[in-house]
Amino acid sequence: MLKRALLSMLFMLPFLGTVAEESVVAEIFPGIVGPLPLAQAPAATNAVPEETAAEPVPLPMVAPKPPMGWNSFDAYDCAINEQQFRNTVEFMEKNLLKYGWEYAVIDYIWFNPKPGDWDNPKRRIGHPDVRLDENGVPIEKLTMDKYGRLMPAVERFPSAANGAGFKPLADWVHGKGMKFGIHIMRGIPLQAWYENLEIMGTHLAAKDIGEPWDTCTWCNNMLGIDATKPGAQEYYNSIFNLYAEWGVDFVKADDTMYPPYHKGEIEMMRNAIDQCGRPMVLSLSCGEAPLSRAGHLAENANMWRISGDFWDEWEKLLHNFDLLNAWSPHIQPNRWPDADMLPIGHLSMNGRPHGPDRMSQFTPDEQVTMMTLWCVARSPLMMGGDLLSSPPETIALLTNSEVLAVNQSSTDNRQVFKTKQGQCCWIATDPATGDRFVALFNLADKPQRVELNFEWEQLRGKYKARDLWQRKDSGPVEKRLGVQLNPHAAALFRLMVVK
């Protein structure tokens, strides 16, 4: 306990940043302008228990780069239908696929014919909880087979008729040169438990593995599964075998990390994917993922949510700066800390799932800041807004190939400093050329200059600086790179050595 207390005190030292400390630094290092930058690396390293430092076991290499795509939740909540999804995929094929946006993901409750189609006094409009009778038995019936495996509701996805599931839709997506993903909820359907449906390939049934006391706190459709029980792994195997038959490439598994952390079910999902015969990206939600579980997450998942549900609110974006900083030591191919979807463009259509029907409340500068941070921190990029009704300037944010290259191909991604005055800098490296990427952020509510002193990163000599958002080169720079930024604005540069 004493050791941990001392480590905690050391952890806090870089954040104290008193005026006196800054004055001392200025006297010793007169070339430094402004407040002392925060020491990022020790803070993130000390926050991780020693047990997570072990080398993770190999995972199938399905996500060598951060996945890029679109997810239906931010715009359609749980109510998207097949035609809306097909229209979105066609837009992606025409406008986004060439830039790397390849995953099209149907988010939650695709198995309910009419999710949220009743007046629930305890929940928001359109919430997908099902009504329960006096004995707790679901009144609304979900679509599932005789083994308790959820199936697409044909009322919304007509190509799923006659037991075809999502295979016809996945085949169509693959025909576009894209990849198909679905959202699932942890556990077994409450309805399957009450009906005590057979677990495929066993003589066991749902009540042998389901835990009626383990219900998701924000959606009552499912029950948790006891990983120690015979039949538990077999049930997970059966659903992932079904997804493999459909041709699923990406699974977003929800209610896995929201306290408590469901270690056993995460491992059963990993095992089920490994035995199903089809490569799949496993994305865990929702966050915040516990940093103390970094090692376990890297052993079992390809991406995991480090934030809670992220929406178009500046305070949430500010918080993600700290989260991405803390998780930066764990960025590696096939294992990506995920800052959540991009809430830009047209959101919450028909007033669901979060707030009124609207265009993103992020200002243009804040949208650039968000995209810059997600790219330099190598978060997966999942567009959340409705592509069909978002303005051209939103689509333009998704099609800057020079900015996206930072997300897809850089290394050594980390925060250099974040001051009390709201100045922030991240840096990364292009492994192919040795060029450096520098992201400068003004997190304050007033304009100010933000700059990187090259000595802090031992960058010597002259560099050509290319502004990646403006796609313009500037003359040689040396010793420092700075820019005047509006409130909540950012700039992203590529530094190339002048020989």
pLDDT of residue 1: 42
Q: Are residues 67 and 172 in the same domain?
A: yes
Chain center to CA of 380? 6
Last residue of a domain, one of 409, 436, 471: 409
- Do residues 265 and 223 touch, judged by C-beta distance below 8 A? no
DSSP per-residue codes, 84-137: HHHHHHHHHHHHTGGGT--EEEE-S-TT-SSTT-S--TTS-TT--PPPB-TTS-
Query: Are 67 and 37 members of one domain?
Result: no
Domain shared by 178 and 121, yes or no: yes
In a domain, 116, yes or no: yes
What are the structure tokens assigned to 201, written together?
A: 């390939």
Domain limit, last residue, from 374, 409, 444: 409
- Which CATH number do you get for residue 122? 3.20.20.70
Q: Please tell me the total count of domains within the chain.
A: 2
Q: Are residues 114 and 254 both part of a single domain?
A: yes
Are residues 403 and 463 located together in one domain of the fold? Answer: no
- The answer to whether residues 210 and 235 touch, using CB atoms and an 8 Å cutoff, is no
Residue 17 lies in a domain: yes
Structure tokens at 134: 């006096």
Q: Which of 380, 409, 438 is the last residue of a domain?
A: 409
Are 181 and 203 within one domain? Answer: yes
- The verdict on 321 and 181 lying in the same domain is yes
Pairing of β 103-106 and β 411-418 = unpaired
Give the integer Cα–Cα distance in Å for 370 and 87.
27
pLDDT score at 125? 84
236 shares a domain with 150? yes
Q: Which two tokens stand for residue 399?
A: 């099609």
For residue 466, the domain's CATH number is: 2.60.40.1180
Contact 412, 112 (CB under 8 A): no
Residue 301 in any domain: the answer is yes
pLDDT of residue 55: 56
Do 191 and 282 sit in the same domain of this protein?
yes
d(CA 351, CA 354): 7
Longest CA span, the chain: 78
The rounded distance, in Å, linking the Cα atoms of 11 and 293 is 19
At 26 the pLDDT is 37
Range(s) of the domain holding residue 119: 61-409
**pLDDT string in tens for the chain (499-residue length):** 443 343 333 333 333 333 333 333 333 333 333 333 333 333 333 333 444 444 555 899 999 999 999 999 999 999 999 999 999 999 999 999 999 999 999 999 999 999 988 888 888 888 999 999 999 999 999 999 999 999 999 999 999 999 999 999 999 999 999 999 999 999 999 999 999 999 999 999 999 999 999 999 999 999 999 999 999 999 999 999 999 999 999 999 999 998 899 999 999 999 999 999 999 999 999 999 999 999 999 999 999 999 999 999 999 999 999 999 999 999 999 999 999 999 999 999 999 999 999 999 999 999 999 999 999 999 999 999 999 999 999 999 999 999 999 999 999 999 999 999 999 999 999 999 999 999 999 999 999 999 999 999 999 999 999 999 999 998 899 999 999 999 999 999 999 999 8
Q: Are residues 199 and 335 in the same domain?
A: yes
Same domain (yes/no): 135, 283:
yes
Q: Based on the fold, state whether residues 404 and 480 are members of the same structural domain.
A: no
Tell me how far apart the alpha carbons of residues 425 and 486 are, in angstroms, rounded to a whole number: 15
Residue 56 domain-assigned (yes or no): no
- CA–CA distance, 384 with 398 (Å, rounded to integer): 12
